[in-house]
Amino acid sequence: MADFEKILFKNIDFPDQDKIDIYIKNGGYNALRKALDSMSPESVTEEVIKSGLRGRGGAGFPTGRKWTFLPKDSKRPVYLTVNADESEPGTFKDRELIEKDPHLVIEGTLLAAYAIKCGQAYIYIRGEFAFGARQLNKAIEEARAKGFLGKNILGKGVDIEIIVHRGGGAYICGEETALLTSLEGNQGYPRVKPPFPAISGLYSAPTIINNVETLSNIPYIINKGAEKFSAFGTAKSPGTKIFCLSGHINKPGNYELPMGIPLRELLYEYGGGIKDGRNLKAVIPGGSSVPLLTADKVDVRMDFESLAEAGTMLGSAGVIVIDETVCMVRAAYNLARFYQHESCGQCTPCRQGTYWILAILERIERGRGSLKDLDKLLEICENIEGNTICPLGDAATPSVKSTIHHFRDEYEYHITEQKCKVSMGPRFE
Amino acid sequence: MGTTVNKLLSEKSIKELNRLKGLYPVRKSVVLMVLHVIYDQFGYIQPEALKEAAGIMEIPLIDFHQAASFYTMFPREAVGKYHIQVCRTLSCELRGSQELVAFLKEKLEIDMGGITSDSMFSLTEVECLGSCGTAPMMQINDTYYENLTRARVEQILDDLRSKSGNG
Ligand SMILES: Cc1cc2nc3c(=O)[nH]c(=O)nc-3n(C[C@H](O)[C@H](O)[C@H](O)COP(=O)(O)O)c2cc1C
Ligand code: FES
């Protein structure tokens, strides 16, 4: 098993870790104290750049570098928006951090705000996470009472406020520009980039958007230094990562492991193997928006570069495990229904494309498809890709294309025999 | 505006609205948070209460209607006292969400989208709730119920029924 130190989940199951006294006892808020005592905002940013930390929201953009895109000496306030929308199917890591170790999220947010000279941060949390929102609000009030948050933090003349803003159940609002539109009180439609949020974001002011897990790494980086952090993982994907295991796996759940861990180790050593001793058929390694890997690819390493080489993506690291009994047409249909439901409708290729993908898959599912439908599906995918304002359209096509590519025989069987080639059987106990 | 007589909003809701007032640099930002206040009190976007809230917040009602039509988590009409939302997305389907839905329909004797005759329960399907590692799962009002089995679902329904004193 991998030899490493936990950065994010070190205290996740410690009793009462969500209470500030326990969080402090376990070393909490030392990083904030250290930064305010002895580091300039620029040197915090410098340390994060040196660590090589990359965004955990899906795109993997270097975090420290993103911060340097802010205009120097902006006359407008600078905003920090923490992306806690967590809606990518297969992903449930930010929720665990927020619910069980909310002060870690708050401390990471405060450090990032200090680094970018932001006085007002927002945590945009998906509306359904009612308990998570309560946990964050409680943590904020506890931190304020101890002088870690609010006016004149630790007597150092730094003011930072955090507001927990609840979303309304729209996947699209996890996309950073839609998140900002939503936070402004509007329907959550994505905006055209450029201008990038760092130049013109929330209320047209310079804005940084970072994922919950991304920011939860910052206290460790400030406490222990960039080198300690980048000692874990790979050269280009440093640090640890929370992998979310779901589907047909014996021990589903979140696992913090070094970047670059082999998928096989993740599934069989940590996840306890495929449920009920069945055979593995496919794995979607980075949330529902990335191409699947077939069972013979389980030796791939779980980091940004290795997964790209294997033709897929690390994405949000939502690892969905699919066993041999699953009909891949049904799986594709299930995800097509999700994307059709969640397309905001702003761009025609995405709105109509997701509609037709779902309609055709439904037809095949019902045994009324034709072999020509497969080429039609691929053509629709091509029409969506690259032709939309935000990447939701591009996120809707990999499940369709990769199931057709690897399991064309199942589609053909479905069309000619009018039924599934395999059947999952009862799974609800 | 200031002359509105408040009839529907509870004291708790009004207190929360007052906390929210002036919290954001741009007033309109508060729209979703106000919808949450209405939803928390009524379980859906009660139109008269929304009108009251819009008056208190001094924000045009249309801004709330536009938001409510876009954000799917707020029912626009009354739902059951206990509103059951079953996740139907892939990880949950792989762990039996379709059978869970069938079981709930049978137990409650309603269809998808229906309300029981005593208005106690309503049933819908939703997309991924960020609980895929504890599938299958459902949300009832504010609360997540995870790692569901037939026995657990029966227990949950019984507990909710007896909590309302309807045996
Ligand atoms: C359709 C769509 C949904 C997204 N959902 C999320 C989300 O739920 N959480 C998240 O952190 N990032 C999400 N993202 C990525 C964000 O746009 C953005 O890249 C990220 O929040 C940046 O933070 P990071 O650099 O720390 O990763 C989504 C992107 C798209 C296109
Ligand atoms: S798929 Fe059901 S909670 Fe994510």
Same domain, B28 and B100: no
Specify the CATH number for the domain of residue B128.
3.40.30.10
Q: Is B95 in contact with A166 (Cβ distance < 8 A)?
A: no
B165 pLDDT band (50/70/90 cuts)? confident
Same domain, B58 and B86: no
Q: Round to whole Å and give the CA distance between A429 and A231.
A: 44
CA distances to A152, B101, B139 from B154, in Å: 53, 13, 15
B4 pLDDT band (50/70/90 cuts)? low
pLDDT at B5: 60
Which of B35, B50, B70 lies at the terminal end of a domain, its last residue? B70
Three-state secondary-structure class, residue A418:
coil
Same domain, B147 and B86: yes
Length of chain A: 429
Is B144 inside any structural domain?
Answer: yes
C-alpha A292 – ligand 2 centre gap (Å): 18
Is B106 inside any structural domain?
Answer: yes
Please report, as a single letter, which amino acid is at residue A133: A
Integer-rounded Cα Rg, in Å, for chain B is 18
- For residue A335, which residues of chain B lie inside 8 Å, CB to CB? 89-90
Q: Which ligand is nearest to the CA of A339?
A: 1
pLDDT at A122: 98
Q: Is A427 in contact with B66 (Cβ distance < 8 A)?
A: no
C-alpha A109 – ligand 2 centre gap (Å): 27
Same domain, B94 and B135: yes
- How many domains in chain B? 2
Direct distance between the N- and C-terminal alpha carbons of chain B, in angstroms, rounded to an integer: 45
- In this complex, the residue of B24, B28, B130 whose CB is nearest that of residue A95 is B130
Residue range of the domain that includes B26: 11-70
pLDDT at B2: 47
* Residue B167 in this model has a pLDDT that exceeds 50: no
Tell me the pLDDT of chain B averaged across its residues: 94
* Residue A174 in this model has a pLDDT that exceeds 90: yes
Closest ligand 1 atom number to CA of residue A171: 3
Same domain, B92 and B136: yes
C-alpha A336 – ligand 2 centre gap (Å): 15
Q: Is the CB of A83 under 6 A from ligand 1?
A: yes
Same domain, B96 and B53: no
pLDDT at A135: 98
A with B: how many residue pairs have Cβ under 8 Å apart? Answer: 162
Q: Is the CB of B100 under 6 A from ligand 2?
A: no
A405 pLDDT band (50/70/90 cuts)? very high
Same domain, B64 and B100: no
Residue for token pair 């400030």:
A222
pLDDT at A3: 82
- For residue A128, which residues of chain B lie inside 8 Å, CB to CB? 73, 129-130, 139
Tell me the pLDDT of chain A averaged across its residues: 97
Which of B22, B46, B70 lies at the terminal end of a domain, its last residue? B70
Give B141→chain A minimum CA distance, Å: 9
C-alpha B131 – ligand 2 centre gap (Å): 5
- Tell me whether residue A150 is exposed, middle or buried, using C-beta atoms within 10 angstroms of its C-beta: 0 to 12, 13 to 18, 19 or more: middle
Question: How does pLDDT run across B104-131, given as a tens digit for each residue?
Answer: 999 999 999 999 999 999 999 999 999 9
pLDDT at B1: 47
Range in A179-188, A276-285, B6-15 the model is least confident about: B6-15
Same domain, B49 and B96: no
Question: How does pLDDT run across A29-79, given as a tens digit for each residue?
Answer: 999 999 999 999 999 999 999 999 999 999 999 999 999 999 998 899 999
pLDDT at A74: 84
Interface of B with A in 73-92 (CB under 8 A): 73-74, 88-91
Question: How does pLDDT run across A90-133, given as a tens digit for each residue?
Answer: 999 999 999 999 999 999 999 999 999 999 999 999 999 999 99
Cis bond upstream, residue A195 (ω within 30) = yes
Q: Is the CB of A58 under 6 A from ligand 1?
A: yes
Same domain, B89 and B157: yes
Which of A129, A180, A246 to mutate to test binding with chain B, by most B CBs within 10 Å of its CB? Answer: A246
Q: Is B90 in contact with A318 (Cβ distance < 8 A)?
A: no
Is B35 inside any structural domain?
Answer: yes
Is B108 inside any structural domain?
Answer: yes
By C-alpha distance, which of A321, A318, A289 is closest to A302? A318
pLDDT at B166: 54
Q: Round to whole Å and give the CA distance between A93 and A18.
A: 16
Is B6 inside any structural domain?
Answer: no
Question: How does pLDDT run across A347-399, given as a tens digit for each residue?
Answer: 999 999 999 999 999 999 999 999 999 999 999 999 999 999 999 999 999 99
Same domain, B105 and B145: yes
Q: Is the CB of A126 under 6 A from ligand 1?
A: no
Q: Which ligand is nearest to the CA of B128?
A: 2
Q: Which ligand is nearest to the CA of A91?
A: 2
Is B4 inside any structural domain?
Answer: no
CB burial readout A397-411, b (16+ within 10 A) else e: bbbbbbbbebbeebb
Q: Is the CB of A113 under 6 A from ligand 1?
A: no
Integer-rounded Cα Rg, in Å, for chain A is 22
- In this complex, the residue of A163, A166, A284 whose CB is nearest that of residue B36 is A166
Question: How does pLDDT run across A225-275, given as a tens digit for each residue?
Answer: 999 999 999 999 999 999 999 999 999 999 999 999 999 999 999 999 999
Is B1 inside any structural domain?
Answer: no
By C-alpha distance, which of A273, A304, A357, A291 is closest to A59? A304
Domains and their CATH numbers in chain A: 20-230 (3.40.50.11540), 240-323 (3.10.20.600), 328-417 (1.20.1440.230)
Which of B98, B132, B143, B147 to mutate to test binding with chain A, by most A CBs within 10 Å of its CB? Answer: B132
Same domain, B87 and B140: yes
pLDDT at B164: 83
Same domain, B90 and B29: no
Is B77 inside any structural domain?
Answer: no
